Amino acid sequence: MIDIIHIDNDIIVCIKPAGLLSEGEGPESLLTVLADQCGGQVYPIHRLDRGASGLMVFARHSKAAAGLSRAVQEKQLKKEYFALISGVPAEKEGELTDYLFKDSRKGKVFAVSRPRKGVRDARLTYRTLWNDGENALVRVALDTGRTHQIRVQFSSRGMPLWGDGKYGSRVKGELALFSCDLGFPHPKTGKPMTFEAKPQGAPWDTIQGDFYDL
């Protein structure tokens, strides 16, 4: 069963488990599982990497989907993430900016030195919440929403996310990327909606203290 945080006639807010696709169809798609669990069609609004987990919002009909999509276009949908990384950023908080190139043949994204065809700019801000001298927990806010953005921007600086073998991690286990904060205007009422969640279990249980008190 998917953990439903909020549901009404227009939207579903849930916790996506690691391993399910956030788009597409079939038994490995969160859309299919939600449609079976809640009844009726479910419309995707944004995506979350298959290996990642955390808060997502879905529309329950096409009008709500249009309203939420408009919020995405107008940058009214706000997302923040927890990421557990190998390494400790030199600055406790800051901004990372890069040019990213998506190589569809290799199924990977690369940080490149200059803009060219197919390259898109990427920006995020981060704040280090905890570290043990070798690893760090960071809270990340995206200014752009590029494929694998958080994973690539930290990996390109020698700090891959835990469990992210695709981008250089030597730590085995689930990808340590969790969507912890989600905000958007309700597509029908316009009311600001905000949701928070924190991850449970491995590898997050290696961190001492409550995430929101760090």
| Active-site residue list | 49
Tokens matching residue 177: 């990327």
205, 79 Cβ separation under 8 angstroms: no
Whether omega before 44 lies within 30 degrees of 0, making that bond cis, reads no
Distances (CA, A) of 144 to 45, 53, 138, 199: 15, 19, 17, 23
N-term to C-term CA, the chain: 30
Q: CA–CA separation, 86 vs 88, rounded Å?
A: 7
DSSP for 43-88, written as a single string: EE-S---TT-EEEEEEESSHHHHHHHHHHHHTT--EEEEEEEEES-
User: Which residue has 């597509």 as its token pair?
Assistant: 187
Q: Is 144 helix (H, G, I), strand (E, B) or coil?
A: coil
| Longest Cα separation, the chain | 49
